[in-house]
Amino acid sequence: MVVTDPDVLGGYRQDRALDPDAGIALALVRPLTTEQVATTVRWAHEHRVPIVPRGAGTGLSGGATAQNGALLLSTEKMRDISVDTVTRTAIVQPGLLNAEVKRAVAEHGLWYPPDPSSFEICSIGGNAATNAGGLCCVKYGVTTDYVLGMEVVLADGTAVRLGGPRLKDSAGLSLTKLFVGSEGTLGIITELTLRLLPAQPPQSTVVATFPTLTAATDAILAITGQLRPSMLEFMDSVAINAVEDELRMGLDRQAAGLLVARSDAPGEHAGHEADIMLAACEKAGATEAFRTDDPDEGEAFCAARRFAIPAVERKGPLLLEDVGVPLPRLGDLVTGIADIAANRRVLISVIAHAGDGNTHPLIVHDPSDPEESERAHLAFGEIMDLAIGLGGTITGEHGVGRLKKPWLPDQLGPDVMALTRRIKDALDPHGILNPGAVL
Amino acid sequence: MVVTDPDVLGGYRQDRALDPDAGIALALVRPLTTEQVATTVRWAHEHRVPIVPRGAGTGLSGGATAQNGALLLSTEKMRDISVDTVTRTAIVQPGLLNAEVKRAVAEHGLWYPPDPSSFEICSIGGNAATNAGGLCCVKYGVTTDYVLGMEVVLADGTAVRLGGPRLKDSAGLSLTKLFVGSEGTLGIITELTLRLLPAQPPQSTVVATFPTLTAATDAILAITGQLRPSMLEFMDSVAINAVEDELRMGLDRQAAGLLVARSDAPGEHAGHEADIMLAACEKAGATEAFRTDDPDEGEAFCAARRFAIPAVERKGPLLLEDVGVPLPRLGDLVTGIADIAANRRVLISVIAHAGDGNTHPLIVHDPSDPEESERAHLAFGEIMDLAIGLGGTITGEHGVGRLKKPWLPDQLGPDVMALTRRIKDALDPHGILNPGAVL
């Protein structure tokens, strides 16, 4: 169970944030059961050895960066799932991938909504640890909205069971919800009870291109002011062209922005809602806008949107942001990011889960060019400052990890930081759980 | 601002749980602003005076019972609300009633879903403090699902702002969700940012009566196995007759149980779903079952269901339970309650938010008859023991308060109780916030 081979450990040093400050871990453990996790944590607690938990290692904030002398605890081998169609819940171990959860419940005609773009490669445990979001969250909410219960191993190795397959439970503090999004700093989630929905109805899809960013953000506000789309995604010109370079699907390379909007209202209501969204796009000045009810065609545009990050990444390594703002400030955010890109002379592509105000500015930079890299990192911080100034958040769905930690006090303020620290100290008094992350 | 008149204080000694152990408070404060709450708590913190916070005083678990020498802090005068149609959120002060929130947002074509039966008289702050539920929760979730942010005054009088009008926010711990359902033991909520939905579509309603409890629970499982109703409510024979005594609406007095089920699917899909539910009721052996799309008629049956508690209360004072179980165990719970009623020779009426497994057994007893009262209280505890044994909860939506506190360790176990205590001690080291509630 314990691996100390440096070659193997090397593969677990970083997550997808590629934190340059990753350390050298003591060893790697890949437990199969809650009891094995508990045994590991009891040992670590006794010897005051820090533990860095990780799921599939797809995190984008350095939440799973190896620390010197730490134990890496990967949940990748914890892969059981059972589905209960009557309570419409699934009990899953954390190592299962999001897509595997979706597929397993789909066999029972059920649906687990949260859908990070990385859903084929990210783990459900990591999703819970970061309170991950995705594309359908604009209508269906984020991971915490689907976690009814969990088993979690605390800092001293005690395994506790919280919540359960019940939609309602007001007995005691909402501890389940506290552990969701805690990024491995309060405990290690070893099992989740997930709320499921009936299978999603077929979706109707609208694709529209816009001559200006303002026209696109106008369309976004017009749409969300009238209905709740099941998806409302945005790509800017850089992303459109990067995707078109790879996929050759005939996207308008001249457009300043592209929206993909969907409705999953029952039956012909999906088409009605799509028509309302189409009209909103046209009224906002779309150069082209069309609706399709063909599932494959609709999915192709969603896949194009999901492919935007890897496509832009071919232009160079990315600093990946995850800033969110209240929706009325989305235009200010997008404009402000363009100003930062111009001032810092760096290429920044903006893609967004537009309907909930959550954007992913992608800062392209050459890490081997120290001067350019410095400008990129300055822009990285300035974008978070901008989001905070607009009443937003430095992370909508990726978590703080280690890369965004310096900006967290600016968002939360000293009193909330102190409150956070009190909870952390109460639950992990020796600071062995994911040290250096978040706090 | 500070009231010490014993007559006034007397009106604030208890909530609707009528806790016989209520004490004599020092004084009552009714602040208007967060700053006034903070000033009050700073004073209390400095002088180590306990504070019992309360909303509208409609709690059913004794969460707002006055304690000897404590300060009562009522949020009833904090009644501001502002609605933002673009972010689809409302910022509300805690003293506003749930119904007032619903009405204020409805003026903007929006909907705040959580709907405790007491929605006309309970406060939104109390709803957040207990993580209140209601009738539509089977489809739309509970209060925590709608709280995106809050302002809360901590035990030392510091006011902090958590979350905000953003659907996604992974920055730091999920503190907002921790304070929801904390029953005033961790802080005093002075403002809430609530997520809203577009106005609910018209509902189609099914009413069905059953010759046996088993037939009724069979129908419940058959319905929830096929779709998500927007309401699925149950009344037993005692409740049916109590309601019929008062309302004379022609309910079948011979029935063992009555279901009210609704669908709010768009357009004619509500009717389609209602027909599926109707067929499920008939197949399960309903003696009578019909569908109505008339909003007034549908609302009349919902109102009848909401009226069940006051109607049964006319038979005598109630011990009001709030136990919930995973849905497949609902039949076992209902049968087991009947056994307890027979064994203890007390009248117990069961009404339920059946679709989410949350039941309200109503134990009728005469408090002036010590022997009967003792049997009633024994039944009260046995019902919670039964729910725990079935993998359920002692409270689905009312909170633990003081009346259910002895059973909380049985549900949570010693490790979760210790975890809860660590958080309580970290946030309220001097134990001045709602002492004696929950813990």
Q: pLDDT (tens digit, 9 = 90+) per residue, A211-269?
A: 999 999 999 999 998 999 999 999 999 999 999 999 999 999 999 999 999 999 999 99
Residue B47 and residue B84: Cα distance in Å, rounded?
40
The answer to whether A175 contacts B415, with C-beta atoms less than 8 Å apart, is: no
Q: Quick one: CA dihedral A218, A224, A229, A235, positive or negative?
A: positive
Question: Among A181, A198, A269, whose Cβ lies nearest the Cβ of B228?
Answer: A198
DSSP annotation string for A344-372: HT-EEEEEEEGGGTEEEEEEE--TT-HHH
The residue among B303, B324, B173, B360 whose CA lies nearest residue A399 is B173
Q: How many CB pairs under 8 A join A and B?
A: 263
Q: Is the CB of residue B142 less than 8 Å from the CB of residue B114?
A: yes
- Answer yes or no: are the C-beta atoms of A161 and A97 closer than 8 Å: no
* Res A285: pLDDT: 98
Query: What average pLDDT is seen over chain A?
Result: 97
Mutate to test the interface with B, among A115, A167, A329 (most CBs of B within 10 A): A167
User: Per residue in A73-93, pLDDT tens?
Assistant: 999 999 999 999 999 999 999
Which residues are CB-contacts of A118 (< 8 A; sequence separation ≥ 6)?
Answer: A58, A98
pLDDT tens by residue, A152-189: 999 999 999 999 999 899 999 999 999 999 999 999 99
Q: Which residues does A415 contact at the CB level (< 8 Å), separation at least 6?
A: B154, B158, B159, B160
Q: Does A353 touch chain B (CB under 8 A)?
A: yes
Q: pLDDT at residue B5 above 80?
A: yes
Q: Inspect the interface and report whether the beta carbons of B224 and A88 lie closer than 8 Å.
A: yes
What is the reported pLDDT for A1? 74
A200 CA: distance to closest CA in chain B (Å)? 12
pLDDT tens, position by position, B256-306: 999 999 999 999 999 999 999 999 999 999 999 999 999 999 999 999 999
- pLDDT tens for each residue of A340-375: 999 999 999 999 999 999 999 999 999 999 999 999
- Residue B217 contacts A, CB cutoff 8 Å: no
- Please report the residues numbered 77 through 136 in chain B whose beta carbons come closer than 8 angstroms to any beta carbon of chain A: 84-88, 130-133
Q: Output the CA torsion sign for A427, A431, A434, A438.
A: positive
Percent of chain B with pLDDT over 70: 100
Q: Which of A141, A161, A420 shows the shortest C-beta gap to B173?
A: A420
Which of A86, A138, A171 faces B167 most closely, judged by CB atoms? A138
Chain B residue numbers touching A185 (CB-CB < 8 A): 173
Q: What is the ipTM of this complex?
A: 0.97
B149-171 mean pLDDT? 97
pLDDT digits (tens, 9 = 90+) for B199-239: 999 999 999 999 999 999 999 999 998 999 999 999 999 99
For residue B84, the chain A residues in CB contact (below 8 A) are 326, 328
Whether B171 and A408 lie within 8 Å, measured CB to CB: yes
CATH number for the domain formed by residue range(s) B2-74: 3.30.43.10
CA-CA-CA-CA dihedral for B377, B379, B383, B386, to nearest 10? 120
Q: Does A283 touch chain B (CB under 8 A)?
A: no
Note whether B356 contacts A166, CB cutoff 8 Å: yes
Stretch B423-435: mean pLDDT: 98
CATH topology of domain B316-409: Alpha-Beta Plaits (3.30.70)
CB neighbour class for B371 (10 Å; exposed up to 12, middle 13-18, buried from 19): exposed
Q: Residue B18: its pLDDT value, please?
A: 93
Instruction: Give the full edge-to-edge strand order of the sheet including A288-292.
Output: A288-292, A204-210, A257-263, A231-236, A347-353, A358-364, A318-320
**Tens digits of per-residue pLDDT, B58-77?**
999 999 999 999 999 999 99
Q: B302-361: per-residue pLDDT in tens?
A: 999 999 999 999 999 999 999 999 999 999 999 999 999 999 999 999 999 999 999 999
Q: Are A238 and A312 in contact (CB under 8 A)?
A: yes
Residue of B nearest to A323 (CA): B169
Q: Would you state the torsion angle of the CA atoms of residues B11, B15, B19, B25, taken in this order, to the nearest 10 degrees? A: -50
pLDDT beyond 90 at A435: yes
**B8 and chain A: CB distance < 8 Å anywhere?**
no
pLDDT at B174 over 80: yes
Give pLDDT, residue A187.
98
Per-residue pLDDT, averaged over B379-400, amounts to 98
pLDDT of A44 strictly over 90: yes
User: Domain residues of chain B, as ranges?
Assistant: 2-74, 81-198, 204-309, 316-409
With b for 16 or more beta-carbon neighbours within 10 A and e for fewer, the B45-76 pattern comes to: beeebbbbbbbbbbbbbbbbbbbeebbbbbbb
* Mean pLDDT of the A14-42 span: 97
Mind telling me how many Å the CA of A5 is from chain B's nearest CA?
34
The predicted pLDDT at position A307 comes to: 94
**CB of B287 closer than 8 Å to CB of B216:** no
Q: Across the interface, do A224 and B88 touch by the CB < 8 Å criterion?
A: yes
**Which chain A residues are within 8 Å of B438, Cβ to Cβ?**
172-173
Task: Please name the residue of chain B whose CA is at the shortest distance from the CA of residue A357.
Answer: B166
**pLDDT value at B1 more than 90:** no
Does pLDDT of A338 surpass 80? yes
Please state, for a pLDDT cut of 90, what percent of chain A lies above it.
99
Inter-chain contact A174–B170, Cβ cutoff 8 Å?
Answer: no
Alpha-carbon span B102 to B96, nearest angstrom: 10
Partner residue opposite B178 with nearest CB, options A168, A174, A400: A174
Residue B397: beta bridge partners?
Answer: none
Torsion sign over Cα B35, B36, B41, B43 = positive
What six digits make up the tokens of B424?
A: 């309580």
For residue A4, pLDDT beyond 80: yes
List, for residues A371-406, the tens digit of each pLDDT value.
999 999 999 999 999 999 999 999 999 999 999 999
Helices then strands, each counted (H, E), chain A: 14, 18
Q: Which among B133, B137, B166 is the nearest to A393, CB-wise?
A: B166
Asked if pLDDT for residue A411 goes beyond 90, the answer is yes
CA distance B306 to B309: 7
CB contact under 8 Å between B427 and A438, yes or no, is: no
Among candidates A182, A186, A324 on the partner chain, residue whose Cβ is nearest the Cβ of B168: A324
Which of B164, B175, B265 faces A391 most closely, judged by CB atoms?
A: B164
pLDDT of A41:
98
Whether B227 and chain A come into contact, CB under 8 Å, resolves to: yes
CATH fold of A81-198: 3.30.465
Task: Choose which CATH entry (3.40.640.10, 3.40.50.720, 1.10.10.10, 3.30.70.2190) describes domain A204-309.
Answer: 3.30.70.2190
Q: Is the dihedral of CA B324, B326, B329, B330 positive or negative?
A: positive
CATH architecture of A316-399: 2-Layer Sandwich (3.30)
Q: How far is CA B68 from the centre of its chain?
A: 27
Q: Do domains B204-309 and B316-409 have the same CATH topology?
A: yes
What is the phi/psi pair of residue A193, to 5°?
-105, 115
